[in-house]
Every structure is written in structure tokens, then in C-alpha cells.
Amino acid sequence: MLGKNEKTISKYNYIMSNLTFGIIKPDAVRAGNAGKIVDRVLSNGFKVRGMKLIHQTRKQAEGFYSVHAGKGFFDELTEFMSSGPCVVLALEKDNAVPAWRELMGATNPAEAAEGTLRKDFASSIGENAVHGSDSDENAAIEIAYFFSKLELV
Ligand code: ADP
Ligand code: MG
């Protein structure tokens, strides 16, 4: 019997080390920084395979972040992520998951390295401008959460 994740992967069948999933979060879109962040995505050698502007419902945000359910910041996080439009991204590059996390910087912008997106655009540990997958398996699941196969170019 397959677990939920294995079913998702076998259904979509695109777990790959050269793809990751990113979000330009509502704080960055509200601040008018989405274009600047997309520019940094491209200038750092990522190819955009999918991109769209969405406004998540609270339920969609709760489903996306279900791994964090029960944590103290879960309500704040899902309220924030459904508070306005965000840009979802399917990104391609060699070793895409670690490459995108390196460009994003640490979760807490106070600890983010110079030149990272969170250093430049995040205002707090909660409202931290961007999301990135933490493994190839989760990248496949997260891409499938927001994109159909036909939407990946
Ligand atoms: P990352 O986004 O770097 O992978 P996590 O997976 O640990 O970080 O957390 C998911 C998101 O939850 C973070 O990007 C941030 O928006 C929020 N978050 C994490 N820790 C906290 C916290 N201590 N207080 C408020 N929000 C938090
Ligand atoms: Mg994470």
C-alpha cells in the first residue's frame, strides 16, 4: 500500500533533482518586489518552468503547510499566506533544491547572508518574502499542489 506522498509522486511522475518549487509570498508581492525577485531568479541561472499569480484560501494554505500543523506559528503562517496574492514558481536548475534555498537565505532574515533574497526583501521570520522546497520529494509534491502538468512549460 502506497503512502500519500508516493501516490502523489507516481501520479505526477516528475520527481527530479533539477526542479524545485518556490513562492513569492504575499508580503513581497504587496511591497512591489515580485518583479525584482523574478529578475534575481533569472540572473541566478534558474529557468522558469511554471509561474502564476494566485490568492490562496486559508484551506489551501493549511493544506500546503500541513507539515507544520500543531506548531505555535501555524495559524499566523496560514493567515499570512492567504492574506493576499502570491506568485508560485516551478524552477529548473542543476541541484535546484539546494541552489534555490541558498539564494533564499535563512528562514529568519536577521540570520540571512548578504546577497540572499530574505536578507534583501524579508521583514521578519514569519513574513520572509519567499518559500522553497526542502527536498526533491517535497518539490514534486509542492509543484503538483499548485500546477497541473499542462501548466509546466
Ligand atoms: P523555511 O521556509 O525556511 O523552509 P520552515 O519550513 O521552518 O522554514 O517554516 C515555514 C515558514 O513558517 C517560514 O518560512 C516562515 O514563514 C514561518 N515560520 C517559521 N518559523 C516561524 C516562527 N518561529 N515564527 C513565525 N513564523 C515562522
Ligand atoms: Mg520549510
CA of 2 to the centre of ligand 2 (A): 24
Single out the catalytic residue among 131, 133, 136, 142: 131
C-alpha 98/C-alpha 137 separation (Å) is 13
Pair 70, 78: CB distance under 8 Å: no
Query: Is 45 exposed, middle or buried (CB count within 10 Å of its CB: 0-12, 13-18, 19+)?
Result: exposed
Tell which phi-psi region holds residue 96, choosing left (phi > 0), alpha (psi between -120 and 50) or beta: alpha
Query: Considering its fold, how many domains does the chain have in total?
Result: 1
Beta-bridged to residue 120, according to DSSP, are none
Closest ligand to C-alpha of residue 117 is 1
pTM, whole model, 2 decimals? 0.93
The CATH number covering residue 118 comes to 3.30.70.141
| Ligand 1: lining residues by beta carbon, under 6 Å | 73, 76-77, 107, 125-126, 128, 131, 134
Domain of residue 74, residue span: 4-151
Three-state DSSP at 69 gives: coil
CA of 95 to the centre of ligand 2 (A): 17
What's residue 15's pLDDT?
78
What's residue 3's pLDDT?
47
What's residue 2's pLDDT?
42
Burial 99-128 (b: 16+ CB within 10 A, else e): bbbebbbbeebeebeeebbbbbbbeeebbb
What's residue 14's pLDDT?
61
Cell numbers of 68, please?
Answer: 507544520
Dihedral, CA of residue 139, residue 135, residue 138 and residue 24, to nearest 10: -50
C-alpha 119/C-alpha 128 separation (Å) is 9
Ordered mean pLDDT values, 10 residues apiece, the chain (153 residues): 48 76 98 98 98 98 97 98 98 98 98 98 98 97 96 95
